[in-house]
């Protein structure tokens, strides 16, 4: 093992390289922190519109019924139709839903996608037959998600286990 006095001094060029590398590391850290702060804010305000009218009345009545249904079934889809007023209100005000955007998921940003996946996971836990992998598969068809995005979402499931 080398002692401190045996370690060679860096050249001026190596020191300059290390300085640029440290600046890069700091910049990446700051950008990651921007994303983290954005996600923390989304966590604080997620689905707050469900706490007031017209959403609260409809979700109070229909959510227990949805929990007993198979996600994506015809019965489930009929229930969503019955909830149209609340869902339309909700989608307009919550950008983590593909329905918020004219072009669906293609218009979403990375924070929208992360919040959406977290929402799908939490929603799957509210269903008697809930399963995140199955939700991703069904929603891939429902929202015409690209195979690459579907793979990324599936690769992220282990984060929740």
Structure confidence by residue, pLDDT tens digits, 4-45 = 666 789 999 999 999 999 999 999 999 999 999 999 999 999
For 95-120, give the DSSP string.
Answer: TTSGGGSTTGGGG--HHHHHHHHHHH
Q: How many domains does the chain have?
A: 2
Q: Are residues 26 and 54 in the same domain?
A: no
Q: Are residues 80 and 151 in the same domain?
A: yes
pLDDT at 1: 59
Angstrom distances, CA of residue 14 to CA of 19, 21, 22, 44, 93? 9, 10, 12, 45, 52
Do 27 and 71 sit in the same domain of this protein?
Answer: no
Asked if residue 2 is part of any domain, the answer here is: no
Query: Would you call 9 helix, strand, or coil by DSSP?
Result: coil
In a shared domain, residues 59 and 111? yes
Rounded to whole angstroms, what are the CA distances from 160 to 108, 125, 131, 136, 139?
A: 22, 12, 12, 14, 18
Give the pLDDT confidence score for residue 75 in this predicted structure: 94
Model pLDDT for residues 143-154, shown as the tens digit of each residue: 999 999 999 999
Condensed to tens digits (0 to 9), the pLDDT of residues 75-125 reads 989 999 999 999 999 999 999 999 999 999 999 999 999 999 999 999 999
Model's pTM, two decimal places? Answer: 0.88
The answer to whether position 1 is within a domain reads: no
Q: Quickly state the pLDDT bin for 46 (edges 50, 70, 90).
A: very high
């Amino acid at each position: 093992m080398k002692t401190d006095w045996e370690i060679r001094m860096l050249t001026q060029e190596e020191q300059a390289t290390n300085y640029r590398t440290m600046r890069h590391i700091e910049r990446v850290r700051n950008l990651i922190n921007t994303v983290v702060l954005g996600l923390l804010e989304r966590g604080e305000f997620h689905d707050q519109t469900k706490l007031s009218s017209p959403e609260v009345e409809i979700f109070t009545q229909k959510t227990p019924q949805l929990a007993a249904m198979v996600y994506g079934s015809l019965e489930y889809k009929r229930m969503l139709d019955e909830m149209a007023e609340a869902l339309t209100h909700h989608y307009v005000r919550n950008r983590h839903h593909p329905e918020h955007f004219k072009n669906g998921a293609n218009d979403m940003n990375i924070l929208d996608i992360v919040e959406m996946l977290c929402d799908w996971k939490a929603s799957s836990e509210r269903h008697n037959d809930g399963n995140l992998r199955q939700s991703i598969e069904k929603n891939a068809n429902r929202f015409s998600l690209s195979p690459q995005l579907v793979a990324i979402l599936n690769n992220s499931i282990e984060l929740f286990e």
